[in-house]
Amino acid sequence: MEPERPFDPAFEAPVILDRGRHPVSRRDIDPDALKVLYRLSNHGLTAYLVGGAVRDLLLGRRPADFDVGTNARPNQIKKLFRNAFLIGRRFRLAHIKFHGGKTIEVSTFRRKPDPEELEAEREELERRARDEAEAAAAAEAVTETAETAAEPQECAEDLPEHREDPEPPDREDAPLPGRRPGRPPIKPIAFGTPREDAFRRDLTINALFYDIATFSVIDYVGGLEDLELRRVRIIGDPDESYAEDPVRIWRVLRHAARLGFSIEERTAAAIPRHRERLSACPGSRLFEELNKDIKTGNSRPFFEAARAHGVLPLVLGGFGAFYERDDAAFSRLTALLAAHDAAVASGAPLPLDVAYALLLWPWAAPLLPALEGDKVKPLYDLFRETKPAALVPKILLYDAVQTLAIVEQMIQALETGKMRWSLKKRPHYPGASQLASLLLEGSFGEGEDPFAALYDRKFGSSHGPGPRPSASGDDRPRPRRRRRRKPKKPAPPSDRPA
């Protein structure tokens, strides 16, 4: 007789919902992701849709991205897809590129890294996050202006380099070459079974698989039950999981906030024991997480959850601490974030730098009046001095503070009736116009230049695109005066005969 063992979900049979018993339909799966799944499957390989996509499809939401898990090794994947690029050194993922810049991420099932493997994995994650964050910031960055050109060194460093990682060894157990001379070679990550792959993930609701061969949903970790109960739960022991990767605290808060789910008791109770670790996480990774909440229009609920669980100062330094202690500023922030989230939901998201300007405004507004002269650099420096752990790329921060400096002038102009319309020439003017409209009117306004429309309604004047400096300081354009031609000088007397 077999010895009895204690209940351990790691050994239980998975719950399998066959096609008639779940709502996931291939119609809702990205066609390119389907192509990838079918090609793997047609070659006799296991091919699952994994991660957040399965969760979202089960909830009837549109997934942000479609990731694929397979038992194919990275080099096999590369051979199957001409458009596959292998990235990463330690755990190699395939990025299958499609038209329009779409990428389907395909990763080989792997097991939980052992403690030795963890550090290298962290470095890997950091490097990828840094590359992705920089690429995102550079892509969104407003065209360089004369002012941004004044900071060429800072900005140039932030631009990503496109680079392919070196060819991997073919065998799983072959060591990867060390990165620096004298350093020991890096052991490649150990691949795993689908079960092991489920257990290495963060949340139960993020560890569900959809099998393209049988159209069934496979659950090793109790994610289906948690979806049913509308709760977010860490897989395994939360203390161990957060210690292994503190960013999971952020992910717990995100998913609970985004889905309106509760946080399971043990998952929540362990947060205060580990949240301090967040501030030691790589800044680029934290920025990437922050960006996700901003871009997906989930910013208000996330900031509320982050404040409630005491993580704002840990990820955003003095800037986050300000929002944690100042109730009034935080409620101004949440109102702004709600407007931003609504803009994302309506399919008209703000450019990233304007979204960051919005995030900064309630903090910056009381500081701006005390700054003299060109306020951009001092405000930029003040933000840096708050030492946020999340590393906002310099170019993005610089764009955001330029927007804020214009917004401040707009708000003053609406009181004084004196607007420097020369600011219209700046690339940050349109974003500032939208943000000023939100602050003054409660909405981003209609049309290209909602601030000018507001100004016109108040002062009944038109304004032109060009600079119109005047002694009075009122730069409003004035009606063009006709220049009188100078009277022609009488022709000099000529002694030539007529």
Query: Which residue in the set 248, 340, 420, 426 belongs to the binding site for ligand ATP (CB under 6 A)?
Result: 248
Structure tokens at 270: 């362990």
Q: Give just the sign of the alpha carbon dihedral 155, 302, 102, 69.
A: positive
Binding-residue total with ligand ATP (CB under 6 A): 14
Query: Which residues 6+ apart lie within 8 Å of 155 measured at CB?
Result: 144, 148, 394, 395, 398
SS3 231: strand
Q: Which is nearer to ligand ATP, 105 or 134 (CB)?
A: 105
Q: Which is nearer to ligand ATP, 65 or 441 (CB)?
A: 65
Residue (of 329, 330, 318) closest to 388 by Cα position: 318
345 near ligand ATP, judged by CB under 6 A: no
CB 155 within 8 A of CB 394: yes
Task: Give the span between the Cα atoms of 420 and 424, in whole angstroms.
Answer: 8
Q: How far is the CB of 53 from Mg ion (least distance, A)?
A: 7
Q: Does 69 bind Mg ion (CB under 5 A)?
A: no
Task: Work out which of 14, 52, 282, 317 binds Mg ion, going by CB under 5 A.
Answer: 52
What type of residue sits at position 46?
T
Closest residue to bound Mg ion by CB:
52
Site string for ligand ATP, 13-52 (x = CB under 6 A): --------------------------------------xx
Nearer to Mg ion, 65 or 172 (CB): 65
- Interface with Mg ion (CB under 5 A), residue from 26, 46, 65, 474: 65
Task: Rank residues 283 and 450 by Cβ distance to ligand ATP and give the closer one.
Answer: 283
Interface residue with ligand ATP among 65, 121, 144, 151 (CB under 6 A) is 65
Per-residue DSSP letters for 463-490?
--SS----TTS-----PPPPPPPPPPPP
Least CB distance to ligand ATP at residue 220 (A): 12
Least CB distance to ligand ATP at residue 291 (A): 11
110: which strand partners? 191
How many CB atoms sit inside 10 A of residue 385's CB? Answer: 10
The answer to whether residue 10 forms part of the interface with ligand ATP (CB under 6 A) is no
Q: Please state the separation of Cα 114 from the chain's center in Å.
A: 29
33, 37, 40, 67: which one contacts ligand ATP (CB under 6 A)?
A: 67
Q: What is the DSSP letter of 433?
A: H
Question: Which of residues 27 and 62 has its CB atom nearest to Mg ion in the complex?
Answer: 62
Residue 8 DSSP SS3: coil
Instruction: Out of 18, 42, 64, 230, point to the residue binding ligand ATP (CB under 6 A).
Output: 64
Cα distance from N-terminal residue to C-terminal residue, the chain:
135
359: left (phi over 0), alpha (psi -120 to 50) or beta: alpha
Residues that bind Mg ion (CB under 5 A): 52, 65
Residues that bind ligand ATP (CB under 6 A): 51-52, 64-65, 67, 201-202, 206-207, 245, 247-248, 251, 292
